[in-house]
Structure 1
Amino acid sequence: MENHAKISELLIRHFRQELTPEDSADLESWLQQSEKNRQFFDELNNLPGLMAEVRAYQDGKQIDLEKAWARMREHGWDVQLEREAKVTQLKWWRYVAAAVIILFVSLGIYYLKKPGRALPEAPVVVKAVQTDASPTTTHATLTLDNGKTIVLDSLTSGLLATQGATKVVKDANGKLLYSAEGKAITDKLIYNTLTVPKGSDVVYMQLSDGSRVWLNAQSSIRYPVAFNEEERKVEITGEAYFEVAKLSGKKFVVSKGSMEVVVLGTKFNVNTYEDEADIKVTLLEGSVKVETETNGRRSERIIKPGQQAVLNATKIDVLDDVDLQQVMAWKEGKFVFNNTNIQLIMRQMERWYDLEPTRFEREEVKKWEFNGEISRYSNASKVLQLLEKTGSVKFKLEGKKIVVSQL
């Protein structure tokens, strides 16, 4: 990508954890253009946090590079740059370095929030991780109605397939788009399945009715390439976020087993991971009805924005004042922990980094809770170091398994 200012902006948003799905696709496209781009990006991700004093950054203005570089040298960074250089006069690589490293990496890749619940007092020790796990690129696959499988990140943008009267396109930002031409097929629906495995980035798609869907790692969605006149129904596993297009009188249904979420137009998140105790439906906008069948009896609840329906084997509970930031952190490219149980944290890491189930060396550690926030695009070791700073635990990454023990 030749637009150096655009790349700088994307890198800045990455380190401020403000990337949209479209931004992420643009950044990934740039990373795939050359090994040099990828190496530079990896180096930025691995830089330690640096609390530098930096003056306001605006196009064409001078910044105090001398002070910034001096502070960087204090942290062992081997840097050379002309004094009094203007950002707009730098060669593009130094332009990126100045805009990103000085202004935003200097503010720290991650920060700690308030401490979690009281834990046994013990010194905090951050140990070097023997091996590491990095976030990977998109490994999602699209399975067509005839059984053919397409690996999405192996293809450039353009037409992927034609399903009936519907075209399947991958756009320049990596988004999967369905465009139905003419009237939807009503006698026999044609289904596709999008699968996002463990260790894969979030995938963003748009259904033929204009509804938008984001899929988390270890998730899938099965859907008609064009909907009939009666309803719009999709089936999911794992976790997905929906922004449903409003179509008068035509409901949209998300199902998982006997559970259904029924809407007309709204924004909501559905978490149906098999290794979680409950199914959780969280509403951000609009109104949805959550239905399920237990022991032959049908039950339903209507939830409002900010509420979460929690479905277990026997009933549906509704929680108020849900932490929406924590629920939606995965879509925003973050891990957000707010009094979050360590077992839940480890399951999130296992899906994102494609790790084996965590081993806890002491049972009491499983009850501990943590607070903190960090980019999901950090290596696994960075997340573990964050957790070690918020509690009396230590971690080892042995191959593809995290081992948790008490200090």
Structure 2
Amino acid sequence: MLKLRWILTLVLAFSSVAKAQYVFEQARSIRSLAMGGVVTPFVQGAEAVFYNPAALSRVKGLDIQLANIGVGYGGMSIEEIQSLQNIDPNDPSTFNQLYGKRLWVGANAKAAVAFPYFGVGYMNDGEVSLELHNPALPQFNTYFRNDATYYLSGAFPLGPIFSFGMTAKRINRWGGDSQELDVTDIAGSSNLSDIGDHFSNKGQGYGMDVALMAELDALVLRPTIALVWQDVGNTAFTKTAGTDAPSHINQNLSLGAGMLLDLPGLDVSLGGEVRHLMEPDIQIGKKLHLGAEVSLPIIDLRAGYNQGYLTYGVGVNLLIFRIDAVSYAEELGVYPGQNADNRYMVGISIDLGFDADFKFTDNNGKKRKVKQRR
């Protein structure tokens, strides 16, 4: 009984329900989440491989993201998690305090190497969500997804202002769909692998991203416009295990614009982005993202507006290490303000950079180089 309680507690602690109107985005960076979800105009260094291949034109030396690890959580309070110890899997009435409450956990790890106009990367991204509902017949609406993705990116200039980029990627997906699990499905499990058997579908797919970016090298305000088309034509999967192939990834056309205010000892970035332009069934308020960042020599302060909710975040640069944190919300309903899911993420990144003369630059040095070359 004690072992079973521990299993249930662990499963719940790694869990928020995935509603039909949840807008899927693969492994957005913590910086982007803190800036309201704005990413395409502000991509830096090796991150271009994942989010905007045209931004590889900004790389002037060698940029290595040796490791970037992030974990996120949303849902129950600490007190509610502690109350899980009172659950008896053989007595559904003990689940009453959990009805209608969501738990979510997400984690990702990535690494990338970028040269001028070329980059490669790897990302492992996953999330689990869960909500107990239907008191007459208790069930857990459960979502599980894990993607392991390999990236190969390239870019080339189109005159002094424009650049074009492309990314080819291979995705190994496990899960990716919601399932209703009975209480007995969880209570009858002796270990976590038994629960994982309910998500046995796996598949492999190949996708493509394309991007077009324009940058103006003004004196103080430096504007950028980026058009990024991810998963062109949708990315479908071929079944490799289980009964069915995972659901395809919808294509995502995004238009972003931003500007950098370059001041002595201070950078201010302001921008906006509209995502999922090719999906008319998504309400416009859920497509809109606005964000800002104030960069000081060591600390970055961020805020934004994501799907109708304010976001806040901070980044700390310590030589080759960068620590980021964010508080944000995802809209699980049809329109902004209907069904917010508050989430928190923290992450750490190890970044190495070398300029065109192969001189080492730390994270603060990289920011100065970005200012000098733009």
TM-score range, shorter chain: under 0.3
The two structures have a TM-score, normalised by structure 2, of: 0.24
Q: Which has the higher strand share?
A: 2
The two structures have a TM-score, normalised by structure 1, of: 0.23
Structure with more contact order per residue of length (Cα contacts < 8 Å, sep ≥ 6): 2
